[in-house]
Amino acid sequence: MSTADSSAAAVAAIAKRAESRFQKSWDENTRSTDRMFAWLMIGQWLFGIAIALVFSPYTWEGKERSTHAHVWIALGLGGLIASLPVALAFLQPGKALTRHVVAIGQMLFSALLIHLTGGRIETHFYIFGSLAFLAFYRDWKVLVTATVVIAGDHLLRGLLWPESVYGIANPEWWRFLEHAFYVVFIVAFLGKSCLKSVKEMRALAENGAMLEALSESEWQKSSVLERERSGAH
C-alpha cells in the first residue's frame, strides 16, 4: 500500500471513529433529555390539577355546587397530553419521533396552563421556559415543531375562544401576531445555540478520535520497538 493510500485510510478511520463518538454523545444527550421531560410531564400534570383546584374547584348553579370543568380538564386532558410523551420517553428514548412528540406535548401543556389560569399574561412566559428546555435536545427541528404547535393553538383558540388565551373576549386582531413574534424571536436564538452546540460536539468528537488514533499509533510503535529489541537479544 502506498503512503497516500495509507494516509487516506487513516483519515477515513479517524472520521469514522469521530462520527461514532459524536453519535454516542448525541444519543446520551437525547436520552437524558427524554427522561427529564418524562418527569417534567408528570410534574406538570399534577401542577395543572393543583392550579384547577386552587383557582376554580367548584361551579355553582343556584345553591347546587359541583366540581368545576377545569378540574376535569386538568385531570383528563392533562393526563392525555402527558401519556404519549412519557410512554415514548421510557420505551423509545433517543428517537427523533420521541423528541418531536415531547415538543408537541410540552406546548400543549403550556396552552393548557394558560387556559386554566384564564389567559393570565404571566402564564404565557411558561412557553418561553418550555422552549428553553426543549433546546436541551440541541435539535433545532424540535423547536420548529414546538413553534408550529403553539402558534396554531393561539390562532385557533384566539378565533374560537379568545378568553382562554388572552383573558378578554375581544382582543385586538394583531394580538396573535404579537405573541408569534416573540416566540419566533426566542426560537431564532435558541436554534442558533443548538447549531453551535452540535458543532462543538462534533469538534470534541473529532479531537477525541485523533487523540485515540495518536495514542494507538504510539503504542504500536513502542510495541514494534520492544519486539525488535527482544529479537536483537
pLDDT digits (tens, 9 = 90+) for 63-72: 555 566 778 8
Q: Which of 43, 52, 45, 49 is nearest to 117 (CA)?
A: 52
pLDDT at 180: 84
Q: What is the pLDDT of residues 205-225, one digit of tens each?
A: 988 888 876 766 555 555 544
Q: What is the pLDDT of residues 93-146, one digit of tens each?
A: 999 999 999 999 999 999 999 988 888 888 889 999 999 999 999 999 999 999
Q: What is the pLDDT of residues 78-98, one digit of tens each?
A: 999 999 999 999 999 999 999
Phi/psi of residue 28, nearest 5 degrees: -65, -40
What angle separates helix 121-134 from helix 140-160, to the nearest 10 degrees? Answer: 160
Beta carbons within 8 Å of 64's beta carbon, 6+ residues apart: none
Every domain of the chain and the residues it spans: 19-213
pTM to 2 decimals?
0.84
